[in-house]
Amino acid sequence: MEETAEDKPKRVNKVIDLLSFYFLRLSIAKKIFVGYAFLVALLIIITVFVLTTLNNLNSINRSILDVDVPVINASKNMTNLLLAQDSYIRRYSILKTPDLLKAFWERSAEFDDSLDMIASFPKERNFPVGELSALHKEFNTFLISGYKKLENKASKEADKFNKEVAQRQDKIIGILKSMAAEALLDQDKKVASTSTIGNTAFEVAALICIIGFLISITAAIFITVNISHAINRLKSATERIAEGDFDYVPDITNKDEVGDLARAFVSMAGRLKKLEEMYKDASPLTRLPGGIAIENVMKKRIKEDERIAFCLMDLDNFKAYNDHYGYAKGNDLIIATADVIDKSVEKFGAEGDFIGHIGGDDFVVITGSESYSIICKDVVEEFDKMVPSFYDEVDRSRGYISGEDRHGNKRKFPLASISIAVVTNSSRKLENHIQFGEIAADLKEYAKSMDGSVYVVDQRRDKDGQVVKENKNTRGKVVRMPEKKK
């Protein structure tokens, strides 16, 4: 999506705000230092830029001298060597002098040496070394095997041989000329780029100097304005706290002397906030709110006549797991369960949904009556996926652990599962949190009597009776529990 004209100022303002945020966090001494640091940074940037530019120019010149020029010269030399080989073999066909044949092979070796030199250049240049080598070997073989045909200059075989020699020479020389032309073109481009780089370097260096000067001036002005504004905010915060607004936190992020005073206010506000949160008897293991917090949340929502789903969650066979693997592993399983519940509520719950830890292996989720089903389903599924990893391979493969029950009898305990009892006020009005808790406790015992992880839902209405409906896809059970007899 292309940036519109209206988006550009917003983006610039966002960057300025971000820089301001970090700048405000500096102490006064550091802010002054920043003003000088910009000048030093400017010098360093220009120096690095100039050195980098010179290095680039040097690399371009080195590439011209080390690659392009040698290729051009080698192409010309190889062309001469090829013609010299033809000349030596023709003279040898007449004079039969061994020195002429020796000279032929010496020129051939020089040709191969030039090819080896070109092959050592960077592969991205892609010079046709392999093709030239193959053609040259064929050329040598053809000359050596056919030089006797030259003895009779008037024969048709000699004419045919001369034509084929010329064709082979032209093909090799054509490739050499093409290679030299490519190197020459690359050389011209590099020479042109050096001029462009030089002009760009001058323009960028000048621009950096101007920007650096403007930034330094802006920083000096900003330091003065920042201190003045911080003092005004601190004055306003003092007035608010004097009026009894202890939750007010001044919007001052400075880390200078004024910021120290502001942080004193923040610290005081933090302590007041902690006092307010002390009633939340949070679990030290899961850091989730405990029973008092759960009670307060329920009271508030019942008072506001909200549609509530009170989900009481309990682990099955947890004591056997604790006894078998130890309390440390048991604590790990409790923490992992809390994480599963938290993620399910985050994925499928609504804003304001509550998660509490009553203690031990009992958890509570307070959500809306429209979302409890998907949350409970996800908790059941994710718990069943997670829990096998807490058992060793032997226990996991056989699906149970051996241990003693509360009466000391030897038993086989299945892998831990989770039972969820859901109580809602969708079908009838519940007066207080105690009713929710009592119904959930009864319903939990029913859920724990079932095999594996399940969630059950109470939907009692005016008439007594018991109806159980099972949804095989969600493993959820909707239960209409009978009223207790008084």
Q: Residues 41-49: contacts with CB within 8 Å, 24+ apart?
A: 41/212, 42/208, 42/209, 42/212, 42/213, 42/216, 45/208, 45/212, 46/205, 46/208, 46/209, 49/201, 49/204, 49/205, 49/208
Beta strands at 476-480 and 467-471: parallel, antiparallel or unpaired: antiparallel
- 339 neighbors 301 (Cβ within 8 angstroms): no
Question: How many whole angstroms separate alpha carbon 413 and alpha carbon 410?
Answer: 10
User: CB–CB of 125/74 below 8 Å?
Assistant: no
* H helix or E strand, kind and range, residue 297: helix 291-303
- Beta-carbon contacts of 68 under 8 Å, excluding residues fewer than 6 positions away, are 183, 184, 186, 187, 190
> Residue 153 in contact with residue 117, Cβ under 8 Å?
no
Alpha helices in 349-432 (DSSP H): 372-386, 393-398
In which residue ranges of the chain is CATH 1.20.120.1730 found?
A: 1-278
Among residues 419, 417, 418, 428, the alpha carbon closest in space to that of 458 is found at 428
Residue ranges matching CATH 3.30.70.270 in the chain = 291-480
Nearest partner of 285 among 252, 240, 323, 332, judged by Cα: 332
pLDDT per residue of the chain (486 residues) written in tens, 0 to 9 = 455 656 666 676 776 677 666 665 666 676 667 667 767 777 787 788 777 877 887 887 887 787 888 888 888 998 898 888 888 888 887 788 889 889 989 998 999 898 888 888 877 678 888 888 888 898 888 888 877 666 655 567 777 888 888 888 889 888 888 888 888 888 888 778 877 877 787 777 778 777 777 777 776 777 777 777 777 777 777 676 666 566 666 777 666 666 777 777 667 665 655 545 544 567 888 888 888 888 889 999 999 888 999 999 999 999 999 999 999 999 999 999 999 999 999 999 988 899 999 988 999 999 998 889 999 999 999 999 999 999 999 999 999 998 887 777 888 999 999 999 999 988 888 888 888 999 999 999 999 989 899 999 987 764 544 433 434 443 444 444 444 433
Q: How confident is the model at residue 376, as a pLDDT?
A: 95
Q: For residues 268 and 365, what is the distance between their CA atoms, to the nearest angstrom?
A: 33
405 and 351 Cβ atoms separated by less than 8 Å: no
Please choose, from the candidates 372, 383, 380, 382, the residue with its C-alpha nearest in 3D space to the C-alpha of residue 349. Answer: 372
Contact 376, 420 (CB under 8 A): yes
Structure-block tokens of residue 95: 């004079």
How would you classify the pairing of strands 308-316 and 362-368? antiparallel
> What's the Cα-to-Cα distance from 166 to each of 54, 158, 174, 282, rounded to whole Å?
48, 12, 12, 96
Phi, psi angle pair for 413, to nearest 5°: -105, 125
Residues in the chain, overall count: 486
Structure tokens at 94: 């007449």
How would CATH label the architecture of 291-480?
2-Layer Sandwich (3.30)
Beta strands in 4-93 (DSSP E): none
In whole angstroms, what is the distance from residue 296 CA to residue 289 CA? 11
Cβ neighbours of residue 155 closer than 8 Å, sequence gap 6 or more: 149
- What's the pLDDT at 35? 66
Burial class, 231, CB count within 10 angstroms (exposed 0-12 / middle 13-18 / buried 19+) = middle
pLDDT at 478: 47
The residue behind tokens 């992880």 is: 453
Provide the residue type at 441 as one letter.
A
- The domain made up of 1-278 has a fold known as Four Helix Bundle (Hemerythrin (Met), subunit A) (1.20.120)
